[in-house]
Copies of this chain bind each other. A is one copy, B any other.
Amino acid sequence: MNPDSQNTPRYHQQHQKAIEAAASVFAEKGYHGASTQDIASRMGIQQGSLYYYFTSKEAALEEVCLAALRDYVDKMEQISKQVQPLKEKLTAAISAHLASYRSNSEALKVHNEQRLYLPEEKREKLKTLGSRYRQQLEDILIEGIHSGILNKSLDCHFAALSLIGLCNYWGAMLTRDSKLALNEITAKCMHFVLNGCLGDTN
């Protein structure tokens, strides 16, 4: 393959479609449970043709995870930058996290559930992006402490991770049960994270 060929508009567009197809199939069947045949079928080409866009199945998983996380970190960065009170920011963050599970071709789900099947080396970029995301969340919480809203002695690192865990859990639920309402779950997560089980309501 001529290396220049990767610069045509068509290549770019098809490559994108390939990533989406892979994300969708991996989300449904898991990395090992999905075949390159499945991915190719979903994007309407022959199995062998897929290798024009991915050097290997593993590379496909890597690209899916990277794209998902990059997308997501970007979104978080925007939220984090905006000047608005803590509660609004946090709600936006949770809502964005949960929403990705529904809409975004489930790529984030693939990242969360399948990335460990990548070899160590291929996971490094993911780790970097992942901790940047966690850091942004942490910063929002720290800011909340400074503005006097959150508890001074809150362990922000632990809280940020827990929030991620919580959102991943409910995000996965959302993809499985279409009856669940995104807004409702967002609000409940928000309330739970802020108040816990002891705290006063409203």
| Chain A residues in the interface with B (C-beta under 8 A) | 29-33, 113, 117, 141, 144, 149-155, 158-159, 161-162, 164-166, 168-170, 173, 188-189, 192-201
17 other contacts beyond A162-B166, A193-B197, with CB at 8 A cut-off? A31-B33, A32-B32, A33-B117, A144-B197, A149-B198, A150-B197, A150-B198, A151-B197, A151-B198, A159-B192, A159-B197, A162-B169, A164-B169, A165-B170, A166-B169, A194-B198, A196-B196
Known: A31-B33, A155-B188, A166-B165. A198 touches B195 (CB 8 A): yes
Cβ distance A119 to chain B, nearest Cβ, rounded Å: 13
> Can you name 26 A-B pairs with beta carbons within 8 Å?
A29-B32, A29-B117, A30-B30, A30-B31, A30-B32, A31-B32, A31-B33, A33-B117, A113-B113, A144-B197, A149-B198, A151-B197, A151-B198, A151-B200, A152-B201, A155-B188, A158-B192, A161-B173, A162-B192, A164-B169, A165-B170, A166-B166, A169-B169, A194-B196, A196-B196, A199-B199
Task: Determine the chain B residues whose CB is within 8 A of the CB of A189 once the complex forms.
Answer: 162
- What is the total number of copies of this protein in its complex? 2
Task: Determine the chain B residues whose CB is within 8 A of the CB of A201 once the complex forms.
Answer: 151-153
How far apart sit A180 and B147, CA to CA, in the bound complex (Å)?
31
Task: Determine the chain B residues whose CB is within 8 A of the CB of A158 once the complex forms.
Answer: 188, 192
